[in-house]
Structures are given as structure tokens and as C-alpha cells.
Structure 1
Amino acid sequence: MAEAVAALEVAGAIGDVVRRLYKYISAVKSAKDEILKLTTELSALKVALEYFDNQSQSDLRLLRNEQVQDMLRLIRDTLLSMQKKLGLAPSGFDHTITILAWPFHSSDVAKYLSTLERSKTWFTMVILYDSKESLTSLYAEVQRLSSAIQDDITSRKTDTMLKEVEEVVKWLAPVNSAEELTRARKDRASGTCQWIWDRNLTAWRDSSGPSKQPLFWITGKSGSGKTILFFSILDEL
């Protein structure tokens, strides 16, 4: 059985995220509206959780309720996702943190806002003892939103991994053969490179078999035109 999550524990995590968000207000002015929307929803959810915690003290079964625990875990996971992206450890003594960029896309903010707003509404309805059907319906909607956030996080991780692999491949093989071929064709003047076929290359191609001379080796100084000559041979072959 999973360890129970306390409402006050989640409320404390909300306070941490709000403090991290406030550090971005002066550094990333373009995100000020999004920061204010997020902090407003987070603060409202924090109040609802604190009120719920106070109410659950007189009815411990409420806190142990399976849906309540699932909702608290959903909120906690959402907050952990936000903390990871914000990436700042709040400190009353550290005023020298350099913030490079606002870490959320507009789609991220929209999903977080929807999850936070519905979570706040759900706990408000629990406090007011609304109908079981309404609670279940809203619970399912929050679950769907949380799943969408997790899918988005996974997608971004996959994109990052693919970019890293692409960079490694470029580092291991810095020469792009297709680009080199296109460039060589453009640089080659009409009628040039035919001399290579006059004797040596023709003899190599028409030899009785590759066992005698499997490779045709072209040597020369850097910049003498070996690449253009090589690709002209490829075109002929």
C-alpha cells in the first residue's frame, strides 16, 4: 500500500513553487502574466488544501479516502514537474541567481493551470460535501490532464535524447556525404575530370577482378581537387 500523502505536505510544496516562480518575475518580464496566473491558482489551491487538512482532522477517514489520496499524489507530481523545470532552490540569502529563460511553453502553462484549477475545485467540493457523481467526474478530468502533462514531459525527454544522439552522430561523422556531393557537382566545371579515365582508371575498372587491385587510390595535396575528382568518378560509375 502506498504511503499516505498529507495535505499540508502538498500545501508546503505549493509554497516552494510559488517562491521559485516569483524569482522569475523581474528576470523574465515577458512571462509576467503567466507567472501571476500560476501563482494565483497555486495560492488558491494551497488555501483549499489547508482548509481541507483542518476539516479532515475531525474525520480521518476523509484523508485516507482513496480518491483524496490519488488527487494529492496528482498535485504532488504536478508540483514536482514544475519544480524540476524551474530548477531554482529558493533562498532568502541568494539574490545573485542568473535565470537564463522562462522554462515553460504556453501549452505547459495552460495544462498546469487546468490541473491546478480543477484540483482546487475538487477539494472545494469535498469540503462542501458535494455529490459523489460530481466528484468522480471532476476526478477523472484531472486524471486526464495529469496524463497529458506526463505525456508532454515524456515527449520532451524523447526529443532531447534524439537531439543528443544526432549531435553525437555529427561529432563522430562530421562530413555529410550528400552535402559534399552536391557541393562538388556545383564546383565542377563542365568537361573537367575526364582525364582520369584516359588510362589508369579505365584499366582498373576493366581489370580481370578486384583481387589484384581492389582499391583505386587517389592522392594529392590538400585543395588540389581530390573531392571533386572522386565524386565525378562516382557519377560515372
Structure 2
Amino acid sequence: PFGRLRGFIPASHVSDLPRGLDESSRAIHLQQLVGRKIPYKVIEVDPQRRRLVLSERKAVRQWRQERKSEMIRQLKEGEVRKGVVTSLREFGAFVDIGGADGLIHISELSWSRVENPAQILTIGQEIETQVIRLEYQSNRIGLSLKRLQPNPWQKAIGRFEAGQVIEGKVSHLTAAGVYVQTEDGPEGLLRSPDGPGSLVTGMIVQVRVLSFDPERERLDFELVEDGQEPSQSE
């Protein structure tokens, strides 16, 4: 009731109604809302038809945006926050850090290459994240999981030099090239004009370091072919 009026909330405007439910499951879920106080926003008023349409989803969304604006003003970059994973997308994971969602971009999930956020996280998982970016105008919060872990690029300073031959494991085959995982260190990109050839994921290979730039997080290799002599710098 709204005073002496009754409003109607369409199922599509119920904030926590799971998608894909059949009619029976949807009815059970909606029945559980009876007697519960919920926020709402008026989205349609028609006195002639005595029609009042409300939206819980829009009310919750507005509250979260207001809460997010308030939280952004309180947060500081570098701060560590506990949160709960609320959504996984191709480009990353959304995490509720106390009434406001922040995004962990897929590149900030791990120091190793991640193809799908589901490799690292699950919905409902409680995690600690670091605030790395606050965008006040767009009301966005950037988070990172990997920056709470040791940085393999910094640990590798002084370990790699051009011409050095090392052993590694093929970790990914991509359009950009072949990625090779070094032992207890960062991944490097094996540059081959002929593509991956006979290389497959998991294969142990010998590669020569072409360049190492820890600031840009770049390590470039070339393949050492069977029978090829190592350079004198090795």
C-alpha cells in the first residue's frame, strides 16, 4: 500500500529476482517478498486508470550510485578493501566493497595471463582487493587483486639480460605469439614470424632473451632451435 493506494512492481523491476526462472520458481520467489519492506521508485502514475507502477530495481540502483559517490570521496588509492565478487564478465570481475561495486579488470587479476576471470574467482567469493583508480566524474572504482601479491617483474630485475638462454614452459598460444612461463618468474613473449609451428601448451623449450623491460612488464624471446649454438654471452 502507498497511503490508500496500491502500487504494482513488475517482476522485471524486482532487484534480486534471478533470471531464467520458470513460472513456478518465479512465483515462489515473489511470494517470499510478501510482508517485506523494500525501497521503490515511482516510474508511472496514471490517475485516470488508477495505475501506480513502482520499481525496486531502479531504487536500489539509485541508492547504490549515491552510495558509490559517497564512498569514492572516502576511498584512497592504494587502500586495501574486503569485498564480495558479484559478477564475472569477459573483461573482469565486479566486487562489492561495502555498498559500491568496483571493477577488477582482467589484467589486474593475476601477474600471469588470465583468459577468463572464472579461472581465478567465483561469484560470492570473499576477497581482499587494492584500490588502484578512482574516477570521480564517471563514478568508477578500479580494483586490483594481483597487486596484493609479489610482483614477479620486480623480483626478476637483474635476472635476465639480452642474449641469455633459459628454459621455460609454453603457457599460451595466441594471435600475438607464444607465451613462455619462466621458472618462478614472469611470462615472456616468444616472437616467431612463422607462428607457433609445432609448439604446444605445456612444452618445455629453450629460448633466448631478446629484451627485458620490467617497468613495461615486457620480456621478449626467440626460440633456440635444436643444434643451435648458444651465444658467447651465456
Tell me which interval the TM-score lies in, with the shorter structure as reference length: under 0.3
Larger radius of gyration: 1
Structure richer in strand, relative to its length: 2
Structure richer in helix, relative to its length: 1
- The structure, 1 or 2, with the larger RCO (C-alpha pairs under 8 Å, 6+ apart) is 1
